[in-house]
């Protein structure tokens, strides 16, 4: 991928910022992989599968969990990256003061009215999360919980259809693979 120099600087600045903010965090998988791998994976999915070359979208993908999962504020993001990136990150940020069930419903509702860039970030996030459910699932998540996540992710992504056909096709195929894997992993007695 070739980006103009200013765009490359923006993406690298976002990587540095996110790496610093997430430096002590780990993913929920059994290996407790470094959290920064997740935002990097979003940007990679956007660029390689979705063909996204927009540095603002790629940077927002890298920064997408900074407000939700670190001490970063919207004001801080705006001061460093501008109002446009702040707005995208805020669009994909859950209100952690709400109970999980409310947050899940709100994601579906908010996806309907999200900006084109936020839709891309949301789609890449769900692609990475569903892929992780198969390849490196959160420790302690039952097969049923993982299936429920895939179904919920489908409901969220149904609200952003039309933003990038390559990403949507990839997401749908990934969900099918995940469900096949999850059903195939189920003991005979539970089928």
Which residues are tagged catalytic?
68-69
Give the C-alpha separation, 52 to 38, whole Å: 17
Handedness of CA 106, 108, 111, 112 (dihedral sign): negative
DSSP 171: H
Q: Give CA 110 to chain center in angstroms.
A: 15
Query: What size, in residues, is the chain?
Result: 191
Contacts of 123 (CB under 8 A, 6+ apart): 50, 157, 160, 163, 164, 167, 168, 171
């Amino acid at each position: 991928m070739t980006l103009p120099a200013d765009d490359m600087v923006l993406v690298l600045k976002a990587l540095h910022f996110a790496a610093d903010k997430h430096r002590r965090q780990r993913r929920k998988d059994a290996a407790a992989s470094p959290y920064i791998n997740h935002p990097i994976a979003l940007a990679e999915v956007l660029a390689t599968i979705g063909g996204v070359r927009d540095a603002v979208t790629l940077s927002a993908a890298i920064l997408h969990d900074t407000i939700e999962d670190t001490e970063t504020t919207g004001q801080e993001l705006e001061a460093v990256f501008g109002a446009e990136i702040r707005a995208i990150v805020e669009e994909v940020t859950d209100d952690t003061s709400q109970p999980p069930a409310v947050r899940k419903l709100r994601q579906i509702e908010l996806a309907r009215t999200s900006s084109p860039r936020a839709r891309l970030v949301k789609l890449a996030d769900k692609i990475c999360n569903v892929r992780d459910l198969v390849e490196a699932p959160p420790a302690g998540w039952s097969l049923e919980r993982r299936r429920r996540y895939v179904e919920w992710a489908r409901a969220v992504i149904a609200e952003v259809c039309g933003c990038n056909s390559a990403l949507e096709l990839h997401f749908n195929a990934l969900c099918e693979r995940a469900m096949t894997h999850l059903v195939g992993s189920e003991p005979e007695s539970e089928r």
